[in-house]
Structure 1
């Protein structure tokens, strides 16, 4: 009886206080995470990157894109915090009270932005005369079918949710046929304490690989560079890249903690599970740690340096084994209205704690150049050199790719078109005939 009376008394006090609490919510200003103007143009990978000056940001809209803040140039849409593709505006309604009664809860009023894009690629790979899994599956593939929403609550909270229906899942190495799966992409929230301190929680990619935190619609070429994505099935001897995928965890960060106007310095320190983008739990009791320093160069680009440590557990019980990865990455992105220059280097050393095997060293990188052509507005052309050495313990496994490409952006229609020609070069003893041609059609919301 006493506990019942106590419960009634507590409930009565909560009801009495709730109107005042409700009136305090939903009054925040719109928050742009990097405290800069965001861009609104609809762009394709190649075309976007070659515009001149940043545009003032429209107020945040109804849901956002991939992973982004801004880099400092309107042309560079970066995944992490470097930009957002925007759609129409909208906002949430607050909770509705029964006539004559106060609202018990008022929903936070988020300013929302919806984004999405479809990227369809057709590929033709030269048939190798000796290796049957190379070049015999030409046709269409869905590179992205992305939909997402981003919400901003005043100056303090940003939340992003996105999913993609073009996840290509295969049974094993060099499997020539895969299955499309719809899966989660980004699922994180940023909680801002100040310009110099922000907390990110959820599922996100740590800043480590330039190609991973560059939005797909902003990349200069159809696919990510070789060192980031690795060698894909049917294009050669399949091998993993050195890029870091999304993972569950937290990060303390600030895109521009120190800003003089002509130069800004930011950072990110992250702790994640580090065991793959589909894993729902950690693979062991150890976390993956990464740290990044980012320098923003006026409004023309950025430079970053990252380090990463990840202790992984591989195999099945009772034959589980522990491996440790130590990674370092350096990247650069500079552009103006006529030219973009970008590139990175990634190094990774792996030690084998359980088996005691000799350590393995891998490295890779790329350099790319894109130029805006004067003949047609939005037309660009470029060249990319990329290299991947998967492991110094595997003989003759180094691969080099030379890629030339052209693209055009049609922002009035939300369309982008690209054409790439790639010449892969394997080391002696593993040579393949696998020149490939790719064409892309992209449609953005």
Structure 2
């Protein structure tokens, strides 16, 4: 089921007025699939969602374990890494540097009138733990753009249609739309909920840390929104001529840097700018020979950035993962993953999240429909975690 009413989802797509999304993103496919079902036909969709990289092995997930995230240990309890171990036993595995959450909604279609509905759906806020278990966080209806903090909290945007069923003109000035910044505690309870929409501005959540949520505001730029007070300061302004357009398509933040995908989607070339949050000066400009996915991710120390991308090969798409040095643009890895096509008008496979294990190792979530698909699958049901490292 959708977490946002269909009419609101379509309003929001243009109300946010972000630069064009990943051209074959699953949210768009899902809306197209619903339209096809209403017409009782199934048409082909050209394109798939992002990629997966492979240098290590692919580790199957242990699915079926859907539980709310456990609260953080009380201060009086020692952290797991300090708990006593049996003599001679191997040391405990350290927790990954970044939490890995699924991103992307998925898509479904009914290819035959009398047959079952098929497709692949991502979770609203499903987290993949390092042991392969899946935690399904309880998030409010209308939740989007999840950012996972190291202390167990989640930050996201909650969209609410205040005038359901009322015809309106799409765009950043649309009436009856609420966008709240919400912070959930480690127990999934609401800690902060604050209206952040400004009529006439597109809005995107680019990242968050313990103190700030980083919002991209159309006609303003990248702003730091203080979680406790709601005060905002502009970090990277955009020219006044930018009007309500968002300054970049996708972004990753960390270690005092922001990596942003600039320019429209292009299957032959993706351009990324690395900028310092303090002052906004550009450190470097990076490029990859294909279309970037939304799930780019900076390493914890900011020295590397993982860039999933894809490019056409014949009638299919080749998926790759590039790992680039943020200061020099040097390619530390650029791994071919494979090729894939469409299945009944739906993407045959794709990635649903990227996170760094440490400063040199990346985890990527990959899920692919079986051939032939027989039902609607969850991403967690089919997913593998693929690990990519640099030398």
TM-score by length of 1: 0.33
Q: Name which one, 1 or 2, has greater alpha-carbon Rg.
A: 1
Larger RCO: Structure 1 or Structure 2 (Cα < 8 Å, ≥ 6 residues apart)? 2
Q: Which has the higher strand share?
A: 1
TM-score by length of 2: 0.37
